[in-house]
Chain A
Amino acid sequence: MIRRFLRPPPGTSRPPSRAERAGPADDAERDPPTDLERLAMWIDTRTGLAGVVRTGMRKVFPDHWTFLLGEIALFCFLILVLTGTFLTFFYVPSAALVTYEGEYVPLQGQEVSAAFDSVMALSFEVRAGLLMRQIHHWTALVFVAVAILHLCRVFFTGAFRRPRELNWVIGFTLLILAMAEGFTGYSLPDDLLSGTGARIAYSAALSIPLIGPWAASLVFGGEFPTEALISRFFVIHVMLLPGLFFGGIAAHLAFVVLHKHTQYRGGPAEETNVVGRYFWPSQVFLSTGLFFLTAAVVALIGGLFQINPIWAYGPFEAAEVASPAQPDWYVGWLDGALRIFPPFEPTILGVTIPSAFIPGVVLPGILFTIVALWPFLEARFVGDDREHHLLDRFWERPVRTATGSAILAIFGVLTLAGGNDVIAFYFSTEVESLTNLFRVLTLVVPPLLWILVYRACKSRRDRSQEPVETHRPPRGGVALRRTASGGFEEVET
Chain B
Amino acid sequence: MTHGAAPGGSGGVPPRGSAAERRAERLVLLSFGITFLTGIALLVLYVAGGQTQLEGILLTLCLGGLGVGIVIWAQRLMSSELRIERRHPIGGDRHRIANLGEALSDEEGFTRRTLLIKALGGALAGLGAALALPIFSLGPAPGRALFETSWRAGARLATIGGEPVGPDDLPVGGVLTVFPDGDDIDPNAATLLIHVEPGLLRLEGDAATATPEGFVAYSKICTHAGCPVGLYRAAQHILICPCHQSEFDVLAGAVPISGPAARPLPQLPIRLEGDTFVAVADYSEPVGPSFWNMGR
Contacts and interface: CB of A to CB of B under 8 A. Distances in A.
Interface of A: 58-60, 63, 127-128, 130-131, 134, 163, 196, 199-200, 202-204, 206-210, 212-214, 216-225, 258-260, 267-268, 271-278, 281-282, 285-286, 288-297, 299-300, 302-304, 318-325, 335, 338-345, 347, 350-356, 359-360, 387, 389, 420-421, 431-432, 435, 476, 482, 485-488
Contacts of A134: 52, 56
Given A281-B74, A296-B67, A196 B243 contact: yes
Contacts of B6: 267-268, 275
A12 B85 CA distance: 37
13 contacts: A127-B46, A128-B50, A199-B226, A267-B6, A275-B85, A276-B83, A294-B67, A295-B67, A319-B179, A323-B242, A352-B293, A431-B245, A486-B92
Interface stretch (B204-212, B257-265, B267-275, B276-284): B257-265
A485 B62 CA distance: 55
B289 A206 contact: yes
B90 interface: yes
B259 A282 contact: no
B70 A292 contact: yes
Contacts of A277: 80-83
A435 B259 contact: yes
Contacts of B289: 203, 206-207, 354, 356
A217 B140 contact: yes
Interface string B34-65: 00000000000010011011111101111110
Contact of B71 (A199, A271, A289, A304): A289
Contact of A303 (B52, B146, B243): B52
B124 interface: no
B142 A214 contact: yes
A303 B49 CA distance: 16
Interface string B135-153: 1101111100110000000
B90 A350 contact: no
B118 interface: no
A213 B259 contact: no
A199 to B, nearest CB: 5
Given A350-B296, A352-B291, A353-B292, A203 B226 contact: yes
Given A221-B138, A300-B57, A389-B87, A352 B67 contact: no
A273 B46 contact: no
The interface centre, meaning the residue of A200, A223, A286 with most chain B CB atoms within 10 A of its CB, is A223
A290 B54 CA distance: 23
B156 interface: no
Contact of B290 (A207, A292, A303, A340): A207
A488 B243 contact: no
Given A281-B78, A319-B187, A352-B294, A343 B260 contact: yes
The 9 closest A-B pairs by CB, nearest first: A303-B56, A318-B187, A292-B67, A296-B64, A285-B74, A217-B139, A213-B142, A289-B71, A293-B67
A353 to B, nearest CB: 7
A225 B230 contact: no
Contact of B228 (A163, A320, A359): A320
A445 B291 CA distance: 32
A476 B4 CA distance: 14
Contacts of A485: 93-95
B295 A347 contact: yes
B255 to A, nearest CB: 10
A219 B259 CA distance: 28
B75 to A, nearest CB: 8
A268 B84 contact: yes
Contact of A213 (B177, B184, B230, B293): B293
B82 A223 contact: no
A321 B228 contact: yes
Given A285-B74, A351-B292, A435-B245, A219 B139 contact: yes
Contacts of B68: 289, 293
Contacts of B113: none
Contact of A130 (B52, B81, B84, B140): B52
Contacts of A260: 85, 87
A319 B177 contact: yes
B84 A343 contact: no
A110 B272 CA distance: 33
Interface string B208-234: 000000000000100011111011000
Given A320-B230, A352-B291, A299 B242 contact: no
B240 to A, nearest CB: 8
Given A319-B187, A343-B256, A344-B262, 4 more contacts: A216-B139, A267-B6, A319-B184, A352-B293
Contacts of A225: 187
A35 B55 CA distance: 40
Contacts of B263: 345, 355
Nearest to B138: A218
The interface centre, meaning the residue of B90, B141, B145 with most chain A CB atoms within 10 A of its CB, is B90
B86 interface: yes
Contacts of B81: 277
